[in-house]
Amino acid sequence: MKKYFKIILPLIAVALGLASCLKQGAMNVDPNDLTGKVVTLQFIENGSGTTINSGMQYFSGGALTYPGTDEKDTAHYNVAISGVVPSSDIAVTIGVDQSKVLDHFSTDSIAYELMPDSLYDFVATSGVIKAGTAFVPMEIVFYPSKIDITKSYMLPVVVTDASGQTISSNFGTIYFHVIGNPLAGTWGWDFIRKNNQDGSGAPAGGSFTGETTVFSPVNPTSIKMPTGYYVQPNYLLTFKNAAGVLSEFNAVIAPDEIKGAFTDNGITMVTQPTVVVNADYTHITINYVVFNGSAFRNCTDIYYK
């Protein structure tokens, strides 16, 4: 089943590495250079900002976010020729480069483990870019329900051979990844809105019960999940983890979202979010108060397993 990988299990980041197969001078090829043939990888399903969505520049585009309950999901990507369209067939081979598992460590300090082969299958490890065409589509199947949500996995997928063509080093690796986080995954979700500051009275319009949502890891000790109010920006929930004992929970409306969601719409925070978590981390309640320019809104999100 083809899905947008919403497995908030940890975010899976696949790094496609180019090692010995890179030709001299291939370290910084421009994928839009039309003066020659350059082999690149293009993750076309879950990237950001470009159809290339590969390499360290687009690391976040390799995050796998399929629902953790899915038995299997298929990610689609291309092995492509950037530049001159080939006049003859080009056979390509892809594989996993274990040496690239920690390529992103200097940025996020996450010690990813190589994803075990029980969690994925290549539909094919070779293909042919036909003469007169620019790419060959490829697929890889992931098994979200088998993933240990407490572990951070990286699957570095690379072009290992391109029939002698130059392989891009900066766009030749897709970093499919999952970030391990003990709160990641699918949760039940209720939202209660009161049209006053003190939270008294019956729930107002916009309240709901029995919904589900996905907690998306930012790193092993912080996570995003939506609030039910207005355009539903995410909370950024942080905590400490001492050998599985979680503590010091704190939540804010995600700093990178609050301006567009609230500030630009005349909504101001009156009371910052307060968090209550039960002893076995299966019930989380977050409450805050806003002023929408004309009235107070007392908002409570309740998440449960």
pTM greater than the 0.75 cutoff: no
CA distances from 154 to 17, 105, 151 (A): 12, 11, 10
Q: How confident is the model at residue 23 (pLDDT cuts 50, 70, 90)?
A: very low
- The residue ranking higher by pLDDT, 11 or 169, is 169
Tell me the mean pLDDT in the region 35-44: 72
53 closest CA partner among 170, 160, 180: 170
Run of H or E including 246: strand 245-253
36 closest CA partner among 101, 82, 98: 82
CA distance 280 to 225: 19
Domains and CATH numbers, the chain: 11-178 (2.60.40.1740), 185-304 (2.40.128)
For residues 99 and 84, the answer to whether their CB atoms sit within 8 Å is no
Q: What is the pLDDT of residues 40-98, one digit of tens each?
A: 888 765 445 556 778 998 898 888 878 778 899 999 999 998 888 889 999 999 999 99
